[in-house]
Chains A and B, each alone.
Chain A
Amino acid sequence: MSADGLEAVFLAQRDVLLRFLRARGGGEAAEDLLQELWVRIHEAGARGLGGPVAQPLSYLYRMADNLMRDRYRSERQATLRDKSWTEDHSGAMPGVSDAPSGERVLIARERLARAVAAIDALGPRAAAIFRRHRIDGVTQRAIAGEMGVSVSTVESDLRTAYRALADLQEREDEA
């Protein structure tokens, strides 16, 4: 299915997508978000990324989900930046760029190291499954086949890994 086809599906499924965006945290802004989604579909088509899409509706849902992820990510980063700015620069030097300070870079690295350690602490199988899933983007069914375990084992290992990282983040946010 081409980008044109995708647009046709978008128009036909407008209401379901709107409902999804509303529930996905868009609330009142869901109409605007739907508009943003429409623009993204156009852009993807213009860059030749529209490609053939096997499951167009599922694809549109995923784009909508990614749109919300991006929004959450940038909101969170903005909050963290403001927070660390006021903490670092209570007597700020005027005209100092907001390039990452050495300290902030170090903190980011330490966070990364702790996150990796949290994954490694799950044991080799869960850590390997998590890598394959996150980094290589392999389906859970394919991972199960590769590692000779059941799909529910893969899913359960992934849940454990996600939970460990969610716990870690919670602790770090409180710190």
Chain B
Amino acid sequence: MDERRVRMRDEAVAWAVRVDDPGFADWDGFTAWLEADARHAEAYDHAVLAAEAADAGLIVPASTPVIRPAPALRQPLPRRRALGWLGGAVAASLVAVAGVQVFQDRAQPYAVETAAGETRVIALADGSRVALNGGTRLTLDRADAREVTLERGEALFTVAHDDRDPFTVHAGNAEIVDLGTVFNVVREGGETRVGVAEGLVAYNPDAENVRLEPGETLVDAQGVIRLGRAATGDIGGWKAGRLVYEGAPLTQVAGDLARATGTRVAVAPAIAARQFTGVIALPEKRAGFVAELGPLLDVEVQPGEQGVTLSPRNRVAP
């Protein structure tokens, strides 16, 4: 780049920075600079657009969801081993997209993702609906709407029931099979949590076969299953902006807040096992919300570079 172009670029950057300030008022000066050279406008547009490039990665509440079509498989998806296969799907999608039209009846997996802080509802071909909380990745199959995999995050399933073809959610190594239902599933940090709002769900019908009725919850922490209860209205409450807890570990609260707000939330080891009981009402505008929760959670919310950390409160000695 020659010296004159560098200078023009630097001037354009300086104006972009100034104009982007909400308090900017020197429009006359800006107009004069634009008029000084016909190329200034484009240099400025360049600088403005380039500055947007990182926005979606800094904090992500408003980014658009990513739908990633994967290539058709020669073999149908193995039912229990869906996760292992999906790892290769991304790499495979680089190789070939052709063939999708040919194998209509084969598995046609695709993924729907939400960024943290973003929610989304998708309708499936069978009339079922899935509401995705933030930070969630769900893989589905165009050829079989009755089989989905929750890779991570949280989703509320409202399922069109069919006795002959039950709706199945894979999460971790488990299968969650609906028997007519509204239910919520969270997959996070090696743990799967299920709550049933309506109907009946079978958890791992081929193994433990735990039947969950409305108001019942289940936590599967790497094979150790615990059952609990919750008000049916609170299951999937995130969808209405309400997070309701009764003796939930702080790490779980942190994960829920991160999905809902887009702010990364870590928990200091000293209080990771601490439990929280209470209701968190999520506001419309969620950026910066976690910072206000210190008193409610009885923690210090410490801002860091990537997000916030919940730490023990510094109590002043009496």
Which residues of A are interface residues toward B (Cβ below 8 A)? Answer: 16, 19-20, 23-25, 55, 57-58, 61-62, 65, 68-69, 72-73, 76, 93, 99-103, 105-106, 109, 111-113, 115-116, 118-119, 124, 127-128, 130-131, 133-141, 155, 158-159, 161-163, 165-166, 168-170
Contacts and interface: CB of A to CB of B under 8 A. Distances in A.
B257 interface: no
Interface in B84-112: 90, 93-94, 97-98, 101
A127 B34 CA distance: 29
A113 B60 CA distance: 13
Contacts of A155: 17-18
Interface in B113-139: none
B148 to A, nearest CB: 19
A168 B101 contact: no
B21 interface: yes
Contact of A23 (B35, B53, B67): B35
Given A23-B31, A141-B23, A169-B49, A128 B305 contact: yes
B47 interface: yes
Nearest to B66: A105
Interface residues of B, number: 51
Contacts of A111: 53
B17 A131 contact: no
B58 A113 contact: no
A128 B306 CA distance: 10
Contacts of B12: 166
A99 B69 contact: yes
A134 B25 contact: no
Interface in B3-49: 9-10, 12-14, 16-25, 27, 31, 34-35, 41-42, 45-49
A55 B69 contact: no
A23 B1 CA distance: 25
B227 interface: no
A169 B53 contact: yes
Interface of B: 1, 9-10, 12-14, 16-25, 27, 31, 34-35, 41-42, 45-51, 53-59, 66-71, 90, 93-94, 97-98, 101, 287-288, 305
Given A140-B21, A140-B23, A166-B13, 14 more contacts: A25-B45, A68-B45, A69-B45, A69-B49, A72-B49, A102-B71, A103-B97, A115-B54, A119-B58, A135-B58, A135-B287, A159-B14, A169-B53, A170-B50
B9 A166 contact: yes
- In order of increasing CB-CB distance, the 7 nearest A-B pairs are A102-B93, A25-B41, A23-B34, A115-B54, A116-B57, A115-B53, A169-B50
Nearest to B9: A166
Contact of A20 (B18, B25, B31, B45): B31
Contacts of A119: 54, 58
A2 to B, nearest CB: 21
Contact of A55 (B25, B51, B67): B25
B23 A139 contact: yes
A70 to B, nearest CB: 11
28 contacts: A55-B25, A57-B27, A62-B24, A69-B45, A73-B49, A99-B69, A102-B93, A105-B66, A106-B93, A106-B94, A112-B54, A112-B57, A113-B57, A116-B54, A124-B305, A130-B58, A133-B20, A137-B22, A158-B20, A161-B51, A162-B50, A165-B50, A166-B9, A166-B12, A166-B13, A166-B46, A168-B53, A170-B1
A154 to B, nearest CB: 9
Contacts of B25: 55, 58
B21 A139 contact: yes
A51 to B, nearest CB: 14
A58 B23 CA distance: 9
Contacts of B67: 99-100
Nearest to B54: A115
Given A102-B69, A115-B53, A140-B21, A127 B305 contact: yes
Nearest to B35: A23
A166 B50 contact: yes
Contacts of B50: 162, 165-166, 168-170
Contacts of B14: 159
A119 to B, nearest CB: 5
Contacts of A105: 66, 68
